[in-house]
Amino acid sequence: MKLRIFLAICISVFLFGCNQPKGNGISNGTAWASGLFNSNGKQIYFTATSKQGTPISYQGGPTTGMMMMGGNFACVSCHGTDARGGSHVMHMETMVAPDIRWTTLSTDHDHGGVGHTDAEQAHNEAYTFENFMNAVEKGKHPDGDELSKDMPRWKMSEADLRDLMEYLKSL
């Protein structure tokens, strides 16, 4: 009798957990709580979804291996909670995500880092909104050269992209 009750409880908990509605505005399997984000840009950075429900869609970039985990990554996945970037090892591949705080992007500086080629380190033009849009959507440095092959390409509305830029400015 006790075993039946225990199994019934386990099955109920499992079914309840698996059938939770996805109406909290958060997608991609992230564990962020609903209402956690005080701005649309911050929500986009952490979840790859906007507060308005407009899609932030993966439109290219890493195509081999599991770097994108089926598209379930957001900016935070590589650039970290503080947007300072860092080195990540995934499936025996090392990927270096740069610091994308606006104070870094909007200053003439070396965009390279550990693990970057000399050509990648040579990019030192400051970002503007247009440069930022080209980096996010087309994977291009301000001078037009390609970003790292590990940088995904994202598609979002101009308003969402501006909100994301404003969030990066706040860091």
Cβ atoms 25, 51 nearer than 8 A: yes
Instruction: Please report whether residue 103 resides in a domain.
Output: yes
Question: pTM for the whole thing?
Answer: 0.70
CA separation for the pair 20, 22 (Å, rounded): 6
Structural domains counted in the chain: 1
Instruction: Please report whether residue 74 resides in a domain.
Output: yes
pLDDT in tens, 104-117: 988 855 544 433 44
pLDDT of 44: 93
CA separation for the pair 1, 20 (Å, rounded): 29
Instruction: Please report whether residue 80 resides in a domain.
Output: yes
Tell me the mean pLDDT per 10 residues along the chain, length 171: 58 45 41 77 92 82 49 82 88 86 78 44 72 92 86 92 96 94
Q: How far is CA 65 from CA 61, 93, 100, in A?
A: 12, 9, 24
Instruction: Please report whether residue 137 resides in a domain.
Output: yes
Cβ atoms 56, 75 nearer than 8 A: no
pLDDT in tens, 78-97: 899 999 999 888 777 888 89
- Per the rule left: phi > 0, alpha: psi between -120 and 50, beta: everything else, 127 is beta
pLDDT of 171: 94
CA separation for the pair 6, 146 (Å, rounded): 57
Domain range for 63 is: 37-169
